[in-house]
Amino acid sequence: MGDAVVAATTAAAAAGTWKLGDLVVNRIGYGTMRLTGNGMMGNSDGAPVDRDGAVRLLRDAVEQGVNHIDTASFYFSALRSANELVNRALSSRYDELVVVTKVGPGRDPSGQWTDTARPDQLRGQVEENLRQLGRDHLDVVNLRRNGPTTDDVTEHFGALAELQQAGLIRHLGISAVRPEHLAQAQQIAPVVCVQNAYSLDRRTADNNGLTELCREQGIAFVPFFAVSGLKREAAAGDELDARVLQVAGAHGVTPAQVRLAWTLHQGPNVLAIPGTTNPKHLAENIAAGALRLTDEDLAVLDRA
């Protein structure tokens, strides 16, 4: 495959590609958090999917062209580990994929959230991701800022840069950040992606200029929670927003597909990593990459 991962020419390629460093990904990816039934910071995302079903879902995503998988060692519940599922389902295809993980937040084996990792503890988190995924290096590692304890990311990002130099990490990104954190990180090492909460109704990154910075500098901006459903990354069920319903009806698609398409319309560097445990929703999410919104659609969606 060479140094760059070649983007598949199947459904997920319809939205085009972007690079995470030298790794080419289709702009529609897949987030694994919901497979475990345990969300971030103790928020439940429902029961975990059956293990064999999760393996089939991950493989199905790749067959449909997804080559950007988002995961983390702290995505686990009493029954499921996202990294273990990725390893079981996709280890034979790692050379075709970009697996992005993250470090920073801490959880003990019982699942309780602990203090944010100190810089000297990040190697242990990286090693745990390597062990669980069955890798000798990680494609991309995001430093997830976790509240005021990492309000200055310099020391933490520097620790990851050292692990990058040691060959454990290929590329670095940051998550849950503001523009000043991007500037801090860039003083140390290149940042290939910024992963923040962002959606049609949650545009903090627009208001503080972060999305524009990423666009200007060619950095991938990777929203999570881009689909506003009852379970965050689930396909939207009872869509209460008349604007979204209007556009969805005009195109004969679901509200979730409209929200994903709106996200991708925010710039060629904007990616999407929706998660789901439902094969039908998976296919719909991937198909959203082919949905082309008109200027009139975008005007309706952006109406105050």
| Catalytic residue of the set 30, 75, 94, 198 | 75
Which uninterrupted H or E stretch holds 272? none
Q: Exposed, middle or buried, 71 (CB in 10 Å: 0-12/13-18/19+)? A: buried
Neighbours of 128 (CB within 10 A): 16
> For this structure, is 30 an active site residue?
no
Length reported for the chain: 304
Is 66 within 8 Å of 283 (Cβ atoms)? no
Interior/surface letters 199-233, b for 16+ CB within 10 angstroms, e for the rest: bbeeeebeeeebbebbeeeebbbbbbbbbbbebbb
Say how far apart CA 275 and CA 273 lie, in whole Å: 6
Is 116 within 8 Å of 105 (Cβ atoms)? yes
State the greatest distance between any 2 C-alpha atoms of the chain, in Å, as a whole number. Answer: 53
**Dihedral over Cα of 243, 247, 252, 255: its sign:** negative
Is 272 within 8 Å of 28 (Cβ atoms)? yes
Neighbours of 118 (CB within 10 A): 12
Say how far apart CA 214 and CA 195 lie, in whole Å: 11
| Residue that the structure tokens 């008349």 belong to | 242
The set of catalytic residues is: 75
